[in-house]
Amino acid sequence: MWDFIINPFVTALTLFYSWTGNIVFSIVVFTIVTRMLTYPMTVQQQRSTKKMQEIQPMLKKLQEKHKNDRDALAKEQMKLYQENGINPASGCVGMFIQLPIFIGLYQAIIFALAATPLQLLDMSGRLLIPGLTAQIPLQNTWLGMDLTLPPTANPIYAMALPLLVVVTTWAQSKLTLPPTPPRAEGEQPDQTVAMQQSMTTMMPLMFGFFSLSFSVGISIYFITSNLIGAFQYGILNRLNSQSKPLAEGQIIEEPVKNQKPTKKEALKAKR
């Protein structure tokens, strides 16, 4: 089912290996290339997050105004999103597109490292460029670590990798989420902000936990991907740092592509 993603990825990984002669370098190069290819999606996701953040004060007011009428609140929220050109699902869409890439990448690394007869057997037929077979088997040890085994089955210093996964995932999450505006005195904590904060804590721990059972090669992918992601988000945040939170009733001026006009707007335009 995943072959149409995995096979090109396995081929690319092996090709990079034939150039670099080092599996870790090829994982790093491969991760950089895939992060660059998915950069437009990262930008879109970041913009969506930022816009959501910007309309938070207005959303809060709407929640207070319609706290006893859920339907009205939903309608007003949708209206606010439309007026500001926000697609609440756009963050998810980006993620949905990136997930198959991530899963494909994960499996490609497993196949390319092929530690057991069954794994090597499953590698056959996946290399789309003739001549790459000569690279098989890829050297799967690095700094005394077997990249096909989890950190727990490697020398003790391999345990540093899950820790690095936690730290870099946390750094990336921090940069992904725009800074929250300071809370006024006596103001109730925002549930969304609280959830974002808990995600920033939970996700790195979760990834760190998974890294304990995944092979070391995957940890290297996580760390590289997180560092590049953090770098990308850092640049985006710097570029966006000029803009200020919107005042009530203010609409984000940035033109939104493919944004359908609301019925009201369409009628207005007709007149």
Output helix, strand, coil percentages for the chain, rounded to the nearest 5: 70, 0, 30
Q: Give phi and psi for 146, each to the nearest 5.
A: -90, 115
Residue range at the interface with other proteins (CB under 8 A); choices 16-24, 90-98, 229-237, 250-258: 90-98
Nearer to other proteins, 140 or 224 (CB): 140
Q: Does 146 bind other proteins (CB under 8 A)?
A: yes
Q: Are 248 and 54 in contact (CB under 8 A)?
A: no
Given 33, 36, 37, 89, the residue binding other proteins (CB under 8 A): 89
- With contacts defined by CB under 8 A, how many residues of the chain interact with other proteins? 48
212-241 footprint of other proteins as x/- string (CB under 8 A): -xx---------------------------
CB burial of residue 256 (10 Å; 0-12, 13-18, 19+): middle
Q: Are 123 and 136 in contact (CB under 8 A)?
A: yes
Sign of the Cα pseudo-torsion (112, 117, 119, 122, in order): positive
Of 119, 147, 141, 130, nearest to 11 by C-alpha is 130
Q: CA 103 from chain center: how many Å? A: 12
Q: Are 156 and 39 in contact (CB under 8 A)?
A: no
Q: Does 133 bind other proteins (CB under 8 A)?
A: yes
Nearer to other proteins, 19 or 96 (CB): 96
Site for other proteins in 181-210 (CB under 8 A): 191-192, 195-196, 199, 202-203, 206-207, 210
54-73 footprint of other proteins as x/- string (CB under 8 A): --x--x---x---------x
| Interface contacts to other proteins, rule CB under 8 A | 2, 52, 56, 59, 63, 73-74, 77, 81, 88-89, 91-92, 95-96, 99, 102-103, 106-107, 110, 115-122, 124-125, 133-134, 136-137, 146, 191-192, 195-196, 199, 202-203, 206-207, 210, 213-214
